Amino acid sequence: MHDHLEEIIELYGDYLLRIAYTYVKDQRIAEEMIQDVFLTYYKKQEQFRGEASLKTYLTKITVHRCTDYLRSWKNKKELLIGKFHIRGQTKNIERKYIEKEEKMEVTEAVFSLNVKLREVLLFYYYADHTTKEIAEILSIPESTVKSRLQKARTVLKEKLKGVDLEVLLNGNE
């Protein structure tokens, strides 16, 4: 049982951490979220029915955990505390993480999008999910995913004038 969980953590841990980070924008909190996701899976793995891939299932749990966190008082308290304390070391880790994954200018533009636009964009381009898979992960119609993708592309095009975004702007759903 433990070997199975270790294998799943090895396969999906980094991927889920990146997903969580795109929501909460804090490395420490994203790590806590992923620990919680794997703990939840371990305790309730018999509930996984195999209707979707395990990666999709764990991604869906991650998304739900992150959106719950973003709505929570704990998040609001962390944001308030963050305004009053310099968290230099954490910020350096976060900055290195962002720079590693994307060019800073594009990353900032993507992170400035609201969560609904950001999540479909990242699932589509970064995690390489289809619009159908994204609809399943987010429990929304596929047409909504497509319209959010189009809106995200339009907003990014405006924010990133002069930056080559051909892949983002001409993607095929």
Looking at 80, 101, 122, which one is the last position of a domain?
Answer: 101
Model confidence at 85: pLDDT above 60: no
- In degrees to the nearest 10, what's the CA dihedral of 86, 108, 31, 40? 140
Looking at 101, 125, 159, which one is the last position of a domain?
Answer: 101
CA 129 to CA 56: how far, in whole Å? 9
Both 46 and 82 in a single domain? yes
45-57 pLDDT, tens digit each:
778 777 778 888 8
Both 22 and 93 in a single domain? yes
**CB under 8 Å to 116, separation ≥6 — which residues?**
148
**CB under 8 Å to 101, separation ≥6 — which residues?**
18, 107, 126
88-101 vs 104-112: helix axis angle to the nearest 10? 100
Between 135 and 99, the more confident residue is 135
CA 139 to CA 148: how far, in whole Å? 14
Q: What is the pLDDT of residue 96?
A: 61
Both 85 and 13 in a single domain? yes
Domain span at 16: 1-101
Model confidence at 13: pLDDT above 90: yes
Q: What is the pLDDT of residue 170?
A: 42
Both 92 and 112 in a single domain? no
Both 88 and 52 in a single domain? yes
From 146, 121, 139, 148, select the one nearest 64 (Cα to Cα).
139
For the question of whether the overall pTM of this predicted structure is more than 0.95, the answer is no
